[in-house]
């Protein structure tokens, strides 16, 4: 049985990814900083009848990630799929942005992705099989008003993805990024309705995405069918950015 780590898996897109992979009989290690992860893991194991364990960890902390990966490997013996999904936004115009608002976004979105990928890479190399899927954003490609910290973190994820893809391709490990558009989750719940509807008008498919739209793309990239795809950025955005 294959096993996957999903960071930020307690809710939103990460939770949908966990459900989708579990529905394909993949065991789940759910990582998150919030306690809600415990209930999500229980829900996943009872719905799909697979092992789903919750590990509480702050992915921005290198030593904490190195420690938790050891626990996960003790529990699962192997990890085939790593989904770097955890992320935050701390929006504001650069003129008013505090250094801590810059730093927290970079530490979680980008350094967190580095910490988790580095922690799992040796295991995948030894297994001679692996799938790493990093959740970027269309904002990392086009930028956005008031999101310089978030856009920078998501653009860097794309450069990171392509570099690691080149480093490990001959080890039978693929590394890809998904760039979601506007997806209905807690992260976007605070956007005022009028702003949401103006975003919606710019989306050719005319609706916001669902966490399941992203989970379906992750499941494809994680599958055998995607074995010849690496170093790519797949936009899942209803056609917003072409
Ligand atoms: N919702 C969107 O429209 C959208 C668009 C593009 C990209 N994304 C990206 O998709 C990913 C998931 O976003 P979401 O919309 O589900 O957001 P969300 O806020 O609902 O979920 C993010 C999860 O990450 C966890 N997390 C935050 N900091 C963490 C840390 N330090 N260590 C461990 N876990 C941590 C949170 O607790 C939460 O469970 C993020 O990387 C986000 O940037 C979202």
Answer yes or no: is 111 within a domain. yes
Domain containing residue 133: CATH number? 3.40.50.720
Answer yes or no: is 66 within a domain. yes
pLDDT at 123 over 90: yes
Number of helices and strands in the chain (H, E)? 10, 7
- Give backbone dihedrals phi and psi of 44, rounded to 5 degrees, phi first: -65, -45
pLDDT at 157 over 90: yes
Q: What is the per-residue pLDDT across 16-35, written as a single tens digit (0 to 9) for each? A: 999 999 999 999 999 999 99
Q: Is 55 a catalytic site residue? A: no
pLDDT at 235 over 90: yes
Residue 106 structural domain: 3-236
Q: Is-contact 209 236, C-beta < 8 A?
A: yes
Atom of ligand 1 nearest to the CA of 58: 32
Q: How far is the CA of 39 from the centre of ligand 1 (A)?
A: 17
pLDDT for 135 equals 99
pLDDT at 190 over 90: no
Q: Is 59 in the pocket of ligand 1 (CB under 6 A)?
A: yes
Answer yes or no: is 241 within a domain. no
Answer yes or no: is 192 within a domain. yes
Cα 240 to Cα 235: distance, rounded to the nearest angstrom: 9
Answer yes or no: is 242 within a domain. no
pLDDT for 191 equals 85
Q: Where are the beta strands (DSSP E) in the chain?
A: 3-7, 27-32, 52-56, 81-84, 130-135, 173-180, 233-236
Active-site choice (55, 62, 150, 228): 150
Give the global pTM.
0.98
Contacts 24+ apart (CB under 8 A), 95-98: 97/148, 97/149
Q: Which residue has the tokens 């229980």?
A: 42
Q: Which residue has the higher pLDDT, 191 or 76?
A: 76
Query: What domain count does the chain have?
Result: 1
Q: What is the per-residue pLDDT across 48-89, written as a single tens digit (0 to 9) for each? A: 999 999 999 999 999 999 999 999 999 999 999 999 999 999
Atom of ligand 1 nearest to the CA of 180: 6
Q: What's the chain's average pLDDT?
A: 97
Query: Which of 185, 199, 217 has most ligand 1 atoms within 8 Å of its beta carbon, as the pocket-test mutant?
Result: 185
Q: Is 14 in the pocket of ligand 1 (CB under 6 A)?
A: yes
Q: How far is the CA of 149 from the centre of ligand 1 (A)?
A: 15
Give the confidence band of 199 by pLDDT, cuts at 50, 70, 90. confident
Q: How far is the CA of 81 from the centre of ligand 1 (A)?
A: 18
Please give the DSSP secondary-structure letter assigned to residue 204. T
Answer yes or no: is 163 within a domain. yes
Answer yes or no: is 89 within a domain. yes
Give the confidence band of 207 by pLDDT, cuts at 50, 70, 90. very high
């Amino acid at each position: 049985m294959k096993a996957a780590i999903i960071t930020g898996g307690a809710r939103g897109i990460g939770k949908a990814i966990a459900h989708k992979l579990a529905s394909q009989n993949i065991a789940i290690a759910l990582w998150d900083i919030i306690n809600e992860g415990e209930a999500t893991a229980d829900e996943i194991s009872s719905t799909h009848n697979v092992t789903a364990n919750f590990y509480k960890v702050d992915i921005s902390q290198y030593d904490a990630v190195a420690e938790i990966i050891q626990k996960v490997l003790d529990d699962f013996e192997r990890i085939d799929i790593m989904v770097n999904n955890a992320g935050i936004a701390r929006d504001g115009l650069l003129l008013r942005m505090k250094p801590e608002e810059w730093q927290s976004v970079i530490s979680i979105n980008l350094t967190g992705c580095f910490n988790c990928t580095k922690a799992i890479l040796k295991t995948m190399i030894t297994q001679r099989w692996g799938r790493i899927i990093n959740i970027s954003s269309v904002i990392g490609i086009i930028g956005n008003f008031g999101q310089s910290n978030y856009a920078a973190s998501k653009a860097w994820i794309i450069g990171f993805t392509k570099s690691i893809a080149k480093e490990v391709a001959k080890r039978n490990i693929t590394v890809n990024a998904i760039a979601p558009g506007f997806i209905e989750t807690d992260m976007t719940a605070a956007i005022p309705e009028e702003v949401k509807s103006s975003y919606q008008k710019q989306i050719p498919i005319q609706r916001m995405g669902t966490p399941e739209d992203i989970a379906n793309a992750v499941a494809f990239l994680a599958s055998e069918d995607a074995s010849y795809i690496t170093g790519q950025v797949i936009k899942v955005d209803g056609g917003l950015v072409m």
